[in-house]
């Protein structure tokens, strides 16, 4: 299927933002990468660079939700195993990328949240949707979790740990460090499992 011009612009912007950051990516850079004939083609689809940035962020999260968060919703796998597989998938993806990208959401959040209220609101929505998916998984796990587990708080902790791990791995380019943090996170979640229930 032929990629539409609009999709080509979004894909080109996403790759440039991953490489350089949002601030250092210009409309001219996007036009060149997307092989557009001029600025009029860009502005036919997007009113501004900010509007394009919002679209890139939304597209990245939808891709993440489709490929990554889908693991958390797999009904044929036990909930705790799903969480472990999800963590492992992020480690594998980061390693396959050669530690060049880090977390697309963490990268964009650190750069864009203070630039534009629309960015901050969209980023808040992204992290809220991720947290709610984890909360839904933890709700499924409730029979095996300790009574005092706060699922909302634990889901935020899982996200914060993974975001921090992805950022550190990008800086250090150390696969063993990333795998170690992932293993520690699994063990931490395991401390909230009732005694006698396997957390492996």
The neighbour count for residue 21, using CB atoms within 10 Å, is 14
Report domain extents, the chain. 1-46, 48-190
Can you give the pTM of this predicted structure? 0.77
Whole-number pLDDT of residue 194 = 85
Name every residue whose Cβ is closer than 8 Å to that of residue 142 and which is 6 or more positions away in sequence.
149, 151
Name every residue whose Cβ is closer than 8 Å to that of residue 119 and which is 6 or more positions away in sequence.
50, 53, 54, 57, 108, 112, 113
Whole-number pLDDT of residue 136 = 93
Query: Looking at domain 48-190, which CATH architecture does it have?
Result: Orthogonal Bundle (1.10)
Rg (alpha carbons) of the chain, rounded to whole number: 19
Whole-number pLDDT of residue 169 = 80
Query: Looking at domain 1-46, which CATH architecture does it have?
Result: Orthogonal Bundle (1.10)
Whole-number pLDDT of residue 2 = 53
Question: What is the full per-residue pLDDT of the chain (200 aa) written as tens digits?
Answer: 456 999 999 999 988 887 888 888 999 999 999 999 889 989 999 999 989 988 888 887 777 777 777 888 898 999 999 999 999 988 888 887 765 555 656 666 666 666 667 777 877 888 888 899 999 999 999 999 999 999 999 999 999 999 888 888 877 878 888 899 999 999 999 999 987 655 55
Read off φ and ψ for residue 193, nearest 5 degrees.
-85, 140
Q: Return d(Cα 31, Cα 40) in angstroms, integer.
A: 10
């Amino acid at each position: 299927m032929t990629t539409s011009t609009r999709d080509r612009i979004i894909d080109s912007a996403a790759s440039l933002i991953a490489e350089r950051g949002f601030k250092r990516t210009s409309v001219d850079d996007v036009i060149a990468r997307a092989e557009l004939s001029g600025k009029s083609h860009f502005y036919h689809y997007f009113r501004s660079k900010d509007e394009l940035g919002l679209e890139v962020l939304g597209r990245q999260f939808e891709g993440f939700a489709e490929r990554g968060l889908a693991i958390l919703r797999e009904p044929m796998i036990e909930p705790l195993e799903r969480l472990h597989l999800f963590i492992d998938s992020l480690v594998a993806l980061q390693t396959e990328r050669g530690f060049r990208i880090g977390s697309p959401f963490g990268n964009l959040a650190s750069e864009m949240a203070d630039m534009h209220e629309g960015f901050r609101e969209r980023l808040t929505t992204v992290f809220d949707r991720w947290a709610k998916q984890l909360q839904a998984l933890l709700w499924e796990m409730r029979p095996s979790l300790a009574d005092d587990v706060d699922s909302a708080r634990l889901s935020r902790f899982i996200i914060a740990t993974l975001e921090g791990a992805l950022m550190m791995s990008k800086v250090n380019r150390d696969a063993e460090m990333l795998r170690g943090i992932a293993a520690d996170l699994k063990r931490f979640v395991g401390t909230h499992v009732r005694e006698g229930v396997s957390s492996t």
